[in-house]
């Protein structure tokens, strides 16, 4: 995939003024995925490091899609038992097939907007199991992470924002969670702020996100829409003010947006999800078709 950079520097977004009276300004994405060309460009994306190189081309690929979406090529991600297996003795064993953006798109105390489409293939799950399809993380500083030496206080960090598609035993279930805490530990500071909402396997669903992560109480703003349906806004702390990763003395979101499947390990279940129309904005995207019908909050 080639991630098209529409701004020359500073991640500044461009705007297109539509001629004619009464027509809204359309703000073009600052970054937009292009699945029609090289699919996964190494300068823009990195693949789960634990995922065996011999299976990457099978698990993460671009395919032609029919019905829904825009009719072109889409990103298809499959996870099979044992993929990027992590025994994680302090919590639950996990496996994954994900891609992560290499560019710094999400920053503390800065608003970013993004949108994407996804659909899950049936059968998805016939049991409840934590299954993340998109996440953003501030990891724990290695000085404080258990097993790294130093003070060894914390388990690895929870995502400050994640979207799950779990199951109620029959139907895929959409939910969103945030995490932010002065302390640390598995699931400490996690808030389930959206869902559970049933979704239809095989159908395309659109997600829109407005995120301004902050480590100051009351300064975060996180809101999400699924197919235009708004979740309650979250305004608590995001990330780890005390124990989180820093750069030049300032907190940093070191795990930029990831797309794919990250789940508690399952010995007998394969899953496939497709993504399309991934785009990010660094100024309000009001007027863009991907945000049609959504009342975008002010920055």
219 pLDDT higher than 80: yes
Residue 287 predicted with pLDDT over 90: yes
In a domain, 158, yes or no: yes
Distance CA 285, CA 279 (A): 10
Model pTM? 0.89
User: Residue 24's pLDDT is what?
Assistant: 53
Instruction: pLDDT band for 3, please (50, 70, 90 cuts).
Output: very low
**40 within a domain of the structure (yes/no):** no
Q: How many domains, in total, are found in the chain? A: 1
Residue 195, CA atoms < 13 Å, CB-side half-sphere: 24
The mean per-residue pLDDT over the stretch 277-297 comes to 95
Domain annotation covers residue 7 = no
Q: What is the mean pLDDT of residues 182-210?
A: 94
Tens digits of residue pLDDT in 56-90: 999 999 999 755 555 689 999 999 999 999 998 66
29 belongs to a structural domain: no
Is 76 a domain residue?
Answer: yes
Per-residue confidence at 133, pLDDT binned at 50, 70, 90?
A: very high
Domain, as residue range, for 199: 45-284
The reply to whether 105 falls in a domain is yes
Q: What is the pLDDT of residues 19-31, one digit of tens each?
A: 433 445 688 999 9
Q: What is the CATH number of the domain that holds 121?
A: 2.60.120.200
More confident residue, 4 or 292: 292
Inside any domain, residue 129? yes
Give a yes or no: residue 249 inside a domain. yes
């Amino acid at each position: 995939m080639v991630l098209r950079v529409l701004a020359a520097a500073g991640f500044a977004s461009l705007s297109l003024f539509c001629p004619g009276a009464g027509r809204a300004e359309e703000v073009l994405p600052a970054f937009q995925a292009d699945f029609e060309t090289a699919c996964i460009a190494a300068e823009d994306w990195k693949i789960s490091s634990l995922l065996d190189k011999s299976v990457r081309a099978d698990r993460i690929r671009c395919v032609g899609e029919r019905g829904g979406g825009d009719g072109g090529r889409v990103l298809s991600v499959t996870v099979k038992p044992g993929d990027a297996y992590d025994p994680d003795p302090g919590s639950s064993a996990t496996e994954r097939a994900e891609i992560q953006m290499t560019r710094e798109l999400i920053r503390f105390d800065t608003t970013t907007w993004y949108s994407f489409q996804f659909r899950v293939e049936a059968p998805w799950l016939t049991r409840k199991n934590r299954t993340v399809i998109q996440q953003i993380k501030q990891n724990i500083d290695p000085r404080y992470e258990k097993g790294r030496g130093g003070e060894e206080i914390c388990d690895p960090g929870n995502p400050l924002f994640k979207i799950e598609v779990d199951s109620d035993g029959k139907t895929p279930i959409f939910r969103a969670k945030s995490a932010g805490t002065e302390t640390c530990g598995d699931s400490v500071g996690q808030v389930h702020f959206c869902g559970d909402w049933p979704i239809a396997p095989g159908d395309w669903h659109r997600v829109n996100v407005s995120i301004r992560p902050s480590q100051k109480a009351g300064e975060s703003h996180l809101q999400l829409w699924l197919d235009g349906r708004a979740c309650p806004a979250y305004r608590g702390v995001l990330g780890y003010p005390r124990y989180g990763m820093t750069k030049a003395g300032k907190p940093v979101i070191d795990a930029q947006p990831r797309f794919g499947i990250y789940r508690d390990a399952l010995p007998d279940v394969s899953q496939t999800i497709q993504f399309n129309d991934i785009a990010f904005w660094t100024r309000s995207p009001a007027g863009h078709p991907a945000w049609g019908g959504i009342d975008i909050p002010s920055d």
